[in-house]
């Protein structure tokens, strides 16, 4: 993080409230760096979030207009902002429990309508703030507070979900792919289209400790080892990353 | 000055229209530029009228995927400086409650119309009721204060909608318009004036963008997004600059006091009612909305029979003119509250009568309450 | 030409992702707890730094800046 990019954050709220090694922080880092590298107008940017750890990525850390809304409803608020003032760049940054579980209906409809907002899902496969319960993106077999013997139900593949609903400019990266993530953020920040990011952030504390990924460095390594760059062929048993 | 005299989009004159249409026309006249909605009987005609008008006027209409989303969208739009609105009926009103609370907490001006139908649940979609009076007051969780208006005619649906926008802007709060299906679908004459007075929110001013600073009852300025204020808007407990303070009791107490005082300390600007033949009344009726139409007829019929009856009709249902309830209770021999529910207003009035019993005339079968049933109560002093 | 590795130590939470992503073994854990009770990361071999920014880009706490040393 270059010193001059710190103008995009409120340094009075640092250090963040996130746990050590939280991938949401890496997402925040990439987003701030993208703004910095573009010398982006921070006063024309509105960041909208919902409830949970993911909802805190933008609010209060980002030094822009921020709208920290109700659980699952960030997208409708963002649509209100964007349609009422189309000149603003509106970016939703929130978590998987928020955007895809309680708020999944809004996500598919935003994708269907291709409302020109960017939606970034900090997907750590779990409800972190409330103590580690299963979400709609918790993998089969994963142990959580509410699935102590392993999760029985299939998770959403968010790339397929959003694309299936009609969304374009769909990306997935992990916290390991900080640089690629930053570059993709830069691409969409310069456009006025719908775009969606499934960012696997990883939660060492609530997810990792129950699933043998307690060490942040180990989780980052696991992401690196299990991801494959998408080049036309989609493997369901891998973390497909890139643009889809 | 935040108050502006503005020509209405309609030529001055008389119009024959539906209550739902009048509500929509009132919104357009008040300067509503953003409407998000979802289809529901008996409120859809508001949205339909808005769609027509907004196309002509190049304003923003969006049909959202559900009632929750439409409430969220109008709050988002409001932060860009737009006057925004949504309209619904009981089942949708229930779904709006969480984001209504968000609008209260974040001091976001907006207007929410509830054209009441029979409940609970799906109930009877095309039938009329007044069962949402308490939901308007207490539907969203947590201690809070709300403004709700109750037009009793099609003409008032027009002007009370204008007033709802003005109050929302002046006090930075959501304002509820509580109509009934009976008014929403009624067709009557509306006399539209040449110009109306509208209030525009104060965007720039001294002080932080949220309440909690002294004086606690002052409405803070509300800058809009995209103007360099780098606003922190949150539904969590926050200090006057928007920083979350979710463990601090002083911040919570000051914020709550502010949200209450900015409305309760300024009731004289908000609370309106009308009085009919109350000067010498021994039998005092207190009613609101469509039920008050029948109550007025009952008062007139009672007067013809030599009974000294009078009516207090609430235009603002929340907050209530409780001081007037007290003086009327002292004056009256009999207090009667006619309403299309099982006694939601009666319970409120009862709290301010010094123990004098309030008689209810109630109907909740989907039909409008009749003057005859009210007159029987006036004559007999019974509740049936 | 070398690089300066600046760590805003009061923002560091000791996750050590920087240790794991650095290809040149620049970082080590501090020897002692700081006054918050955290063993922070230290750039103990800055002379090894090649300026790849892996540490800065992966720091969840935005605590690392890598700058070119002035000539």
Query: Which residue in the set A3, A25, A33 is minimally distant from C61, CB to CB?
Result: A25
User: CB distance A21–C62 less than 8 Å?
Assistant: no
Q: Residue C71's pLDDT is what?
A: 61
Asked if pLDDT for residue A158 goes beyond 70, the answer is: yes
Residue in chain A lying closest to C18 (CA) = A217
B252-283 pLDDT, tens digit each: 999 999 999 999 999 999 999 999 999 999 99
Taking CA atoms, A173 is separated from A180, A216, B203, in Å, by 8, 17, 40
CA B220 to chain CA centroid, nearest Å: 22
Whether chain B has a CB inside 8 Å of the CB on A88: the answer is yes
B153-209 pLDDT, tens digit each: 999 999 999 999 999 999 999 999 999 999 999 999 999 999 999 999 999 988 999
SS (H, E, C) chain B: CCEEEEECCCCCEEEEEEHHHHHHHHHHHHCCCEEEECCCCCCHHHHHHHHHHHHHHCCEEEECCCHHHHHHHHHHHHCCCCCEEEEECHHHHHHHHHHHHHHHHCCCCEEEEEEEEECCCCCEEEEECCCCHHHHHHCCCCCCCCEEECCCCHHHHHHHHHHHHHHHHHHCCEEEEEEEHHHHCCEEEEEECCEEEEECCCCCCCCCCCCCCCCCCCCCCCCCCCCCCCCEEECCCECCCCCECCCCHHHHHHHHHHHHHHHHCCHHHHCCEEEECCCCCCEEEEEEHHHHHHHHHHHHHHHHCCCCEEEEEECEEECCCHHHHHHHHHHCCEEEEEECCCCHHHHHHHCCCCCCCEEEEECCCCCCCCHHHHHHHHHHCCCC
- Whether chain C lies against chain B with 3 or more Cβ pairs closer than 8 A is no
Give the mean pLDDT of A44-56: 98
Q: What's the pLDDT band for C1 if we cut at 50, 70, 90?
A: confident
CATH number of A18-234+239-243: 3.40.50.970
Whether chain B has a CB inside 8 Å of the CB on A79: the answer is yes
Whether chain C has a CB inside 8 Å of the CB on A220: the answer is yes
Chains that touch B (3 or more CB pairs under 8 A): A
Give the mean pLDDT of C36-48: 97
Q: What's the pLDDT band for B1 if we cut at 50, 70, 90?
A: low
User: CB distance A29–C62 less than 8 Å?
Assistant: yes
The domain tally of chain B equals: 2
What's chain B's average pLDDT? Answer: 97
Taking the C-alpha atoms of residue C25 and residue B131, their distance in angstroms, rounded to an integer, is 70
How many contacts does A have with B, using Cβ atoms within 8 A?
127
What is the distance in angstroms between the Cα of A141 and the nearest Cα belonging to chain B?
Answer: 33
B228-255 pLDDT, tens digit each: 999 999 999 999 999 999 999 999 999 9
Asked if pLDDT for residue C55 goes beyond 90, the answer is: yes
**% helix, strand, coil for chain A, step of 5:** 40, 20, 40
Which range marks the domain in which residue B328 is found? Answer: 272-380
Asked if pLDDT for residue B127 goes beyond 90, the answer is: yes
Q: Let me know if residue B241 belongs to a domain.
A: no
For residue B355, give the CATH number of its domain.
Answer: 3.40.50.920
Asked if pLDDT for residue A42 goes beyond 60, the answer is: yes
Q: Of B144, B168, B199, which residue is a domain's last?
A: B199
Asked if pLDDT for residue B320 goes beyond 90, the answer is: yes
Give the mean pLDDT of C46-61: 97
Whether chain C has a CB inside 8 Å of the CB on A97: the answer is no
User: CB distance C11–A15 less than 8 Å?
Assistant: yes
For residue B89, give the CATH number of its domain.
Answer: 3.40.50.970
What is the distance in angstroms between the Cα of A207 and the nearest Cα belonging to chain B?
Answer: 25
Query: Which residue in the set A14, A178, A204 is minimally distant from C11, CB to CB?
Result: A14
Whether chain A has a CB inside 8 Å of the CB on C2: the answer is no
Chains that touch C (3 or more CB pairs under 8 A): A
Q: Let me know if residue B266 belongs to a domain.
A: no
User: CB distance C14–A178 less than 8 Å?
Assistant: no
Q: Of B199, B231, B252, which residue is a domain's last?
A: B199
Residue in chain B lying closest to A115 (CA) = B62
User: CB distance A79–B64 less than 8 Å?
Assistant: yes
A216-244 pLDDT, tens digit each: 999 999 999 999 999 999 999 999 999 99
Asked if pLDDT for residue B383 goes beyond 60, the answer is: no
Give the mean pLDDT of B54-66: 95
Q: What's the pLDDT band for B21 if we cut at 50, 70, 90?
A: very high
Query: Which residue in the set A63, A81, A106 is minimally distant from B79, CB to CB?
Result: A81
Q: Residue B384's pLDDT is what?
A: 41
Give the mean pLDDT of A128-137: 97
Percent of chain B at pLDDT above 70? 99
Asked if pLDDT for residue A185 goes beyond 50, the answer is: yes
Closest CA to B362 of B329, B379, B337: B337
User: CB distance C59–A1 less than 8 Å?
Assistant: yes
Asked if pLDDT for residue C42 goes beyond 80, the answer is: yes
User: CB distance B235–A70 less than 8 Å?
Assistant: yes
First to last CA, chain C: 7
Q: Let me know if residue B255 belongs to a domain.
A: no
Whether chain A has a CB inside 8 Å of the CB on C14: the answer is yes
User: CB distance A216–C15 less than 8 Å?
Assistant: yes
CATH number of C3-68: 3.30.70.20
Residue in chain B lying closest to A110 (CA) = B65
User: CB distance C21–A2 less than 8 Å?
Assistant: no
Whether chain A has a CB inside 8 Å of the CB on B36: the answer is yes
Asked if pLDDT for residue A136 goes beyond 50, the answer is: yes
Taking the C-alpha atoms of residue B336 and residue B287, their distance in angstroms, rounded to an integer, is 9
Taking CA atoms, A34 is separated from A224, B62, B182, in Å, by 22, 32, 56
Whether chain C has a CB inside 8 Å of the CB on A25: the answer is yes
User: CB distance B230–A77 less than 8 Å?
Assistant: no
Query: Which residue in the set A43, A59, A77 is minimally distant from B72, CB to CB?
Result: A77
Pairing assessment for the beta strands B110-118 and B124-128 based on DSSP bridges: antiparallel
Query: Which residue in the set C14, C57, C61 is minimally distant from A179, CB to CB?
Result: C57
Q: What's the pLDDT band for B381 if we cut at 50, 70, 90?
A: low
Residue in chain C lying closest to A4 (CA) = C65
* Domain co-membership, B299 together with B165: no
- Whether chain B lies against chain A with 3 or more Cβ pairs closer than 8 A is yes
* Domain co-membership, B284 together with B192: no
Q: Residue C70's pLDDT is what?
A: 78
B62, B232, B242, B247: best mutation site toward chain A, by most A Cβ within 10 Å?
B232
């Amino acid at each position: 993080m270059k010193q001059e990019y710190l103008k995009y954050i409120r340094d009075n709220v640092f250090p963040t409230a996130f746990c050590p090694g939280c991938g949401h922080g890496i997402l925040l880092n990439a987003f701030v760096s993208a703004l910095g590298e573009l010398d982006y107008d921070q006063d024309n940017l509105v960041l909208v979030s919902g409830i949970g750890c993911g909802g805190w990525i933008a609010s209060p850390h980002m030094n822009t207009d921020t709208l920290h809304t109700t659980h699952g409803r960030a997208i409708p608020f963002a649509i209100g902002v964007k349609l009422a003032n189309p000149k603003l760049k509106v970016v939703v940054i929130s978590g998987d429990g928020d955007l895809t579980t309680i708020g999944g209906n809004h996500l598919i409809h935003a994708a269907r309508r291709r409302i020109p907002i960017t939606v970034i899902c900090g997907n750590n496969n779990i409800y972190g703030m409330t103590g580690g319960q299963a979400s709609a993106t918790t993998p089969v077999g994963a142990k959580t507070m509410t699935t102590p013997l392993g999760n029985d139900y299939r998770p959403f593949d968010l790339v397929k979900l959003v694309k299936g609903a009609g969304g374009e400019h769909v990306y997935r990266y992990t916290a390991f792919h900080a640089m690629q993530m930053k570059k993709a953020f830069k691409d969409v920040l310069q456009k006025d289209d719908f775009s969606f990011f499934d960012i696997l952030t990883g939660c060492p504390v609530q997810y990792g400790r129950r699933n043998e990924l307690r060490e942040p460095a180990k989780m980052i390594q696991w992401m690196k080892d299990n991801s494959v760059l998408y080049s036309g062929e989609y493997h369901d048993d891998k973390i497909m990353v890139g643009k889809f | 000055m935040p108050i502006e005299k503005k020509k209405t989009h309609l030529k001055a004159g008389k119009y024959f229209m539906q209550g739902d249409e009048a509500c929509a026309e009132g919104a357009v006249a008040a300067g509503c530029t953003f409407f998000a909605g979802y289809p529901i009987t008996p409120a859809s005609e508001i949205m339909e009228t808005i769609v027509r008008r907004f196309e002509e006027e190049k304003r923003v209409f969006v049909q959202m995927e559900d009632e929750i989303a439409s409430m969220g969208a109008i709050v988002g739009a409001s932060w860009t400086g737009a006057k925004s609105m949504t309209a619904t009926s009981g089942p949708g009103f229930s779904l709006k409650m969480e984001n209504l609370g968000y609008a209260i907490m974040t001091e976001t001006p907006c207007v929410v119309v509830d054209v009441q139908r029979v409940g609970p649940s799906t109930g009877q979609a095309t039938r009329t009721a007044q069962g949402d009076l308490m939901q308007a007051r207490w539907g969203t969780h947590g201690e809070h204060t709300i403004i709700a208006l109750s037009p009793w005619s099609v003409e008032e649906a027009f002007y009370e909608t204008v007033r709802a926008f003005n109050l929302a802007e002046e006090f930075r709060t959501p304002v509820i318009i509580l109509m009934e299906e009976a008014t929403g679908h009624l067709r009557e004459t509306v006399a539209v004036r040449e110009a109306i007075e509208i209030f525009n929110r104060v965007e720039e001013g001294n002080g932080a963008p949220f309440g909690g600073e002294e004086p606690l009852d002052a409405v803070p300025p509300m800058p809009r997004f995209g103007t360099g204020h780098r606003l922190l808007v949150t539904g969590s407990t926050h200090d006057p600059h928007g920083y979350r303070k979710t463990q601090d009791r002083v911040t919570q107490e000051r914020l709550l006091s502010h949200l209450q005082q900015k409305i309760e300390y300024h009731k004289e600007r908000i609370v309106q009612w009308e009085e009919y033949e109350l000067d010498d009344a021994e039998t005092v009726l207190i009613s609101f909305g469509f039920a008050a139409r029948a109550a007025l007829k009952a008062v007139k019929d009672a007067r013809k029979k030599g009974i000294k009856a009078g009516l207090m009709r609430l235009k603002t249902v929340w907050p209530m003119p409780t001081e007037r309830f007290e003086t009327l209770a002292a004056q009256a021999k009999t207090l009667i509250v006619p309403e299309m529910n099982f006694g939601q207003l009666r319970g409120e009035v009862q709290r301010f009568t010094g123990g004098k019993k309030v008689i209810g005339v109630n109907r909740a079968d989907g039909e409008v309450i009749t003057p005859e049933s009210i007159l029987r109560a006036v004559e007999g002093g019974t509740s049936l | 030409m070398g690089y300066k590795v600046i760590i805003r130590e009061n923002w560091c939470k000791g996750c050590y992702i920087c240790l794991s992503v650095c290809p040149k073994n620049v970082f080590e854990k501090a020897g002692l707890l700081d006054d918050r009770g955290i063993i922070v990361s230290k750039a103990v071999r800055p002379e090894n730094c090649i300026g790849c920014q892996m540490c800065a880009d992966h720091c969840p706490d935005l605590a690392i800046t890598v700058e070119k040393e002035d000539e």
